[in-house]
Each structure stands twice: as structure tokens, then as C-alpha cells.
A and B are shown apart, each in its own frame.
Chain A
């Protein structure tokens, strides 16, 4: 069965530190990849997405992610985090042939200390 793994469950960083959150998926076909973010008390919102083309995608608020097909990975990065980045981050995958069934990872809670 298709699955998504996020290896870091809880990450604590100081402001200005660099961030990388790992995401690996198990499906071998053509996929679409997403990162969603849930700020405290808010609903899930899209951070960035990859459908095709340049494997390095840039999203909102300075986030970026790199799709490495050979590693089945889509890691999220940010060079310098801010306290306002404190949130829960979810990686998600859907097959290109069935864009409706989005499979999410377990999520990573990021806590940024001021």
C-alpha cells in the first residue's frame, strides 16, 4: 500500500537555524507531492506542491522542497526559521492518475524558540 513517512516527529530549533524535514513515500509510479502546514488553531493550508518540471520547488514564507525521484523523497527546507514557523507540517502524496486520494504522513511538529 502507498505510504508516506516523515522521520522527524518533533523538531525544536532556535530562531535563524536552518530546517530540513524529511519525507519519503513508497509509491513507485508518477506522483504529485505536497507539503501542508497547520499553524496553532488554524486549518491546514498548502505550503508548496510539485507536479512536474523543476524538482526544486519554492513555496510561501521562504520554504522550498526538493523532489529526488531516485530516493522517493520530498524534503522540506528553510534556510532560517522564525518563531512564527512554529506549526505542524504534513507531507502528502497522490498518484498522478488519481489526484483525489491524498495520502498524508504522520506530521512533524516544529517548535521554534525565540
Chain B
């Protein structure tokens, strides 16, 4: 079956612009996660959605970052007024309850 799908795969934007990154999780997966992978920084947890519960936003680095998940499926991560330090690979993952995470290929964001 289809895995986690992320779009776009690459995004180049100018500093100060807003960007939206999209994630289509595996069908039926109740949990959805966003991580950021920066060079030499490993994977940084951003936000986690589980069913209809309030999302765990504890990893969002600033109020320029927000995410929503519509209808318990597709999620959009929005970064407002992008900065150069936002350049990274943004990874989405989904899972069924306690099962291991399935990752997408990520969106490589470059802020110029």
C-alpha cells in the first residue's frame, strides 16, 4: 500500500515568505508527527496529532510555526515569515497507536 506522502519534495523560498508543507499519512493511521532534520542536529520533534485529542505542540520552535490536521487525515505545516535558520528537511510520519512510525521522504526547505 501507499506510504506517507509529502509535498513538495523541495521548496526554495525567500526570507520573509510563508510556506506550507503537506503530509498525507498512511490511510487509517491515527497518529501523525512532524519532525525537522537539520544538518548535524538529528531529528527534532515539532508536533504530534493523535486522533481527536489536542495536538502536542511542545516542539514547535516559535509562534511562526503552526500545523493542522483536517479530518483526521492530511496535515499541513505552516511556517510564517521564514528565516534562514528554518532551512531543513521537514519529515512527516504516521502510526497506529503504539506501532512504530512510518516516515515520508520529507520536504527539503531552503530559505534564501
Binding site for B on A (CB under 8 A): 32, 34, 36, 42-46, 49, 51, 90, 92, 99-107
Contacts and interface: CB of A to CB of B under 8 A. Distances in A.
B42 interface: yes
B106 A43 contact: yes
Interface residues of B, number: 26
Nearest to B43: A104
Interface of B: 3-4, 31, 33, 35, 40-45, 48, 50, 56, 58-59, 91, 93, 97-98, 100-101, 103-106
A21 B42 CA distance: 15
Contacts of A44: 43, 91, 93, 101, 103
A99 B98 contact: yes
B42 A106 contact: yes
A49 B100 CA distance: 8
A89 to B, nearest CB: 11
A45 B40 contact: no
A103 B45 contact: yes
Contacts of B98: 32, 51, 99
A42 B91 CA distance: 12
Contacts of A101: 45, 48, 56, 58-59
Contacts of B44: 104
B48 to A, nearest CB: 4
Contact of A105 (B42, B56, B105): B42
Contacts of A34: 100
A23 B101 CA distance: 19
B105 A104 contact: no
Given A104-B42, A104-B44, A104-B45, 5 more contacts: A44-B101, A99-B98, A100-B31, A103-B45, A105-B42
Contact of B40 (A49, A102, A104, A106): A106
A4 to B, nearest CB: 8
A106 B38 CA distance: 10
